[in-house]
Structure 1
């Protein structure tokens, strides 16, 4: 009697479920290592299927890379902006938003963005998706700024200009942080950036700073 054990055969999945596992595996791989690691073989190894199966569901890798990029950055945009509430006025709201986007925990998405800008030069589907996602960030952030400004009698801003400036700063600083070139005090950077895009300057420090008991004479 042959009692030798056999490795279990891969479980057959419905096409929709198999496709979902391939996309999810590619997204996870890109978040861990960047979208430049996305190849048919790498995704297949990650999911535990043959390269031929990956190619069956996603026959054009440039298009698949663009899809994975869009999935990752859209999820971050929805996470940051869907639950955003303009509490505490326009200045405080924007400062909180910038601090959130500059948080170290978002470096995986920052790497995806930086690589997409570079790879999108020659990967046209990716370049097109990058432009679309940047437009969506701009328009969504304009809406957030306009909403916060409408609730705040003390501050105002041009939503289109403010959104462009904030995104340019966040994108630049996020890229710098990947190579460990960034200011130590990101909160101060956020404060100064927000002040630069508002129609009214930041109040002098002496007007908003309360001395501690140790500092009082």
Structure 2
């Protein structure tokens, strides 16, 4: 049970709902989406399952919204990382380095859970589609901006965005099950990106990624 002494006190509905949402995200990141149960959330919050059920009558809906919140937060974090970049080339390099870094492994695991569980949970499947589209749109906008600046050349920026995301997702999925090392394979993503965007070899960096 939660050790927070304020957990069991009466709280305003909006405050309690926010707490349930926050604790649900913690469980998903710590233990995976499959661990997100009524009892688990109640235990983490420090209240009865009945109270959680009052605020979240559908666990399928809670799993979907929890996944969506985690992924949306990651997009916001990456956007903040890219904000100081003065060029689109620098922004793309930063994005590749960030998404293939070990600090993203917990969110990657949540993605893998969602892709798997979404086969049986309609609400989660819908949210997965929403968030995949959001990531594609985010990266496509980066590519389009680079093209407008004359830094990139791409006939179909949307297709390039999907291609890069597919490679990044694949490498990260391998790394989650300890097959390969995503960070060490950043060079592969850079090479593909440079080719697809008309950049000279090494434009996105050629540093040694052999160390974690």
- Considering the TM-score relative to the shorter chain, is it more than 0.5? yes
1:35 alignment counterpart: 33
1:215 alignment counterpart: none
The answer to whether structure 1 residue 56 and structure 2 residue 65 are counterparts is no
Mapping for residues 142-161 of structure 1, pairs under 5 Å:
142-153=140-151, 155-157=152-154, 158-161=156-159
With the length of structure 2 as denominator, give the TM-score of the two structures.
0.84
2:210 alignment counterpart: none
The answer (yes or no) to whether the contact 1:161–1:197 under 8 Å persists in 2 is no
Give the deviation of 1:92 after TM superposition: 4.1
The answer to whether structure 1 residue 102 and structure 2 residue 100 are counterparts is yes
| Alignment: residue pair count | 199
Give the deviation of 1:130 after TM superposition: 0.4
1:175 alignment counterpart: 173
Mapping for residues 123-202 of structure 1, pairs under 5 Å:
123-153=121-151, 155-157=152-154, 158-183=156-181, 185-200=184-199, 202=201
Mapping for residues 14-29 of structure 1, pairs under 5 Å:
14-29=12-27
Give the gaps of 5 or more residues in structure 1. 1-6, 210-217
With the length of structure 1 as denominator, give the TM-score of the two structures.
0.83
Cα distance in structure 1, aligned partners of 2:86 and 2:80: 18
Cα distance in structure 1, aligned partners of 2:172 and 2:138: 19
Give the gaps of 5 or more residues in structure 2. 207-212
In structure 2, the CA distance between the partners of 1:156 and 1:52, relative to structure 1 (3 Å rule), is same
Give the deviation of 1:20 after TM superposition: 1.1
Name which one, 1 or 2, has greater alpha-carbon Rg.
1
Give the deviation of 1:137 after TM superposition: 1.0
